[in-house]
Amino acid sequence: MKKFFLLILALIIFSAHVDAAKIDAYQKILESGRYTIRYDNLTPFPRVTNRDVVELYGKMGLAVQGNEYFLNRPLGGVVVSDGENRYEEVGYKDFFQCRLVKGGENFIFTRYPGKNGGVEYFGDKKGKVSANPRDYLIELLNGESFGDLHFTEMMTAIISDSQKNAAQKSYKFVTSGTLDDGLIYEDFANRDGNTVSAIRYYFDGDELKKISFASYGQEGNRVRARKCIVKILSFTDSPEQNLLRLPAGLIDTTKR
Amino acid sequence: MNLKTLFLSVTLIFLTCANCSAEQIKAQEYRKILASENFYVEYDDNNLKKIIAQDNGRRMARTNLGGTHRAIVSILNPVGNFLANEREKYPEFMFANGKFYKFLEKDFALMIHEDQLDDENLNPGEGWGTIHQSLSLPNELAIFNWHDKFHEVPAALSEPVFIESTKKIVDGKKYDCDRYESKIKTAAGGQSATIIFDLCYTGGELVLAQSALLTNGKEYEINKLIVKKILPSVPSGDFKLSGKEKIHAAGTGDMNDLLENPAYIGRLNEIQ
């Protein structure tokens, strides 16, 4: 009986380990530093203040929900890295905030619809951008950014502890299984003080298709909860080189 | 060589090495000043003149044009220079009696209580999230008081430790430099990088503070500060407050906030 129990226990541990391996392929890609990820963050960010849904007209009137820019839309994102250079963009519909890190320089600009169905860019001025020095220290202390805050947490959770700094959360494998629709999931969790966070990665076969995140806990005197669902459009180990240089239509005006 | 000569030679070598690697004498004095209730620190950071002061429990800070930028402004705009001088005497940020103040004009400030800082309704445009940073000494000078109330240190960064003192030439000038090192730790307990701080002295006074990041065999400059003054008290007439400054509530998403008309609380001397 004792042997049988130990056998079952060993099988459970072994199967859990095997199931958790699906995320390992993505861990390898992330830690290699060479990838292209496209995603849609389906969960709108919680409003921080009333300001994001209110437009003021002078000092006299206001129109609630006049600012459709922040209404419930998926937040699209792209992250490309070749190990040294990096490109990130996040945005709604066709208005995107972009950041290109190339060598020791950092370019920040926006992309939006232009005339005749084209696109236009705005850095310092329309069609022009100048670089800021790359802040290696902040990159090391905060870890790499993957566009929006929630997706960054989801990606950072995959990276092994030896590859991230002590301030970043360490997620441990909890369980895995198969859903009714055939998707396979792997669950990871972190407990940081009074806050519990959980991330579930969904796979169709070996392909990462979706990620959900939830956290709940006390911060100071407040109880806070966050949730987020992200749809993975593509996650490959080949960096899209055309995104790792300034786009045509955007002139570099950096004084070097 | 007899035994006595050998002993003296060895002692001399030890003494010489000890002299090479000891921290500058003034470092201990800076530690004492910056941990006290009164100090005044002035430095240039990329042509910005920054001043951080502690005056009987009140922490204050401001940034003005400095270096060549200031000289150009002085030549081109004498009136602006006069006004800039006036502004120089007032704090831009202040912490006193559990309250943070942000002076938008010399007699107009926004205020929040210390425990309001994590209020999710605070107007992000007012920048309260960086108020600690605005009042803190930079890392290069916080070496003398790493655990200062306003100095927020990322969990991954270890407290700098003294390594050695050497003679260095920076931008063609000779300095006696104290080197400190801080480690950036990984979540697994390893080390991903080192931050090097060089505090450089001439005539026994700290004049240059610079830092660099060492990672993957490469070194990247982080910061270079020209240290102007580290004094044990605020010079008279500086950071003067009349007490009549009008204090208003920080925006918390209420109607006053939306209409950009901050609620008036009272005069500074009435609420401190």
Domain assignment present for residue B17? The answer is: no
User: Is B59 in the same domain as B119?
Assistant: yes
Domain assignment present for residue B24? The answer is: no
pLDDT for res B16:
45
Q: What is the dihedral of CA A36, A143, A152, A102, to 10 degrees?
A: -40
B122, B154, B187 member nearest A161 (Cβ): B187
Report the domain count for chain B.
2
The ipTM value here is 0.73
Q: Among residues B82, B83, B101, which one has the least CA distance to residue B91?
A: B101
User: Is B120 in the same domain as B42?
Assistant: yes
Tokens coding B87: 């502004």
- Asked whether residue B74 carries a pLDDT value surpassing 60, the answer given is no
- Which chain B residue lies closest to A137 (C-alpha atoms)? B213
Pairwise CB contact (< 8 Å): A137 & B257: no
Q: H-type helices in chain B, by residue range? A: 3-21, 25-34, 67-76, 78-87, 131-135, 139-142, 255-258, 268-271
User: Is B215 in the same domain as B246?
Assistant: no
State how beta strands B173-185 and B191-202 pair: antiparallel
Domain assignment present for residue B166? The answer is: yes
Determine the straight-line distance between the first and last CA of chain A, rounded to whole angstroms: 76
pLDDT for res A87:
96
pLDDT for res A4:
54
Map out the domains of chain A as residue ranges.
2-247
Domain assignment present for residue B14? The answer is: no
User: Is B99 in the same domain as B152?
Assistant: no
Bridge partners for A204 per DSSP: A207
- Asked whether residue B11 carries a pLDDT value surpassing 70, the answer given is no
- Which chain A residue lies closest to B122 (C-alpha atoms)? A49
User: Is B116 in the same domain as B191?
Assistant: no
B115, B213, B261 member nearest A137 (Cβ): B213
Domain assignment present for residue B94? The answer is: yes
Q: How far lies A39's CA from each of A27, A89, A118, A151, in Å?
A: 17, 10, 23, 9
Domain that holds residue B193: 148-231
Q: Among residues A14, A18, A5, A23, which one has the least CA distance to residue A188?
A: A23
Best of A27, A105, A165 to disrupt the B interface (most B CBs within 10 Å) is A165
Say if CB B176 and CB B203 are below 8 A apart: no
Pairwise CB contact (< 8 Å): B188 & A141: no
Say if CB B48 and CB B138 are below 8 A apart: no
Domain assignment present for residue B4? The answer is: no
Neighbours of A75 (CB within 10 A): 21
Q: Please, what are the averages of pLDDT over each run of 10 residues along chain A (256 residues)?
A: 54 46 95 96 67 46 45 83 94 87 92 88 94 88 87 95 88 95 96 93 97 89 86 97 95 92
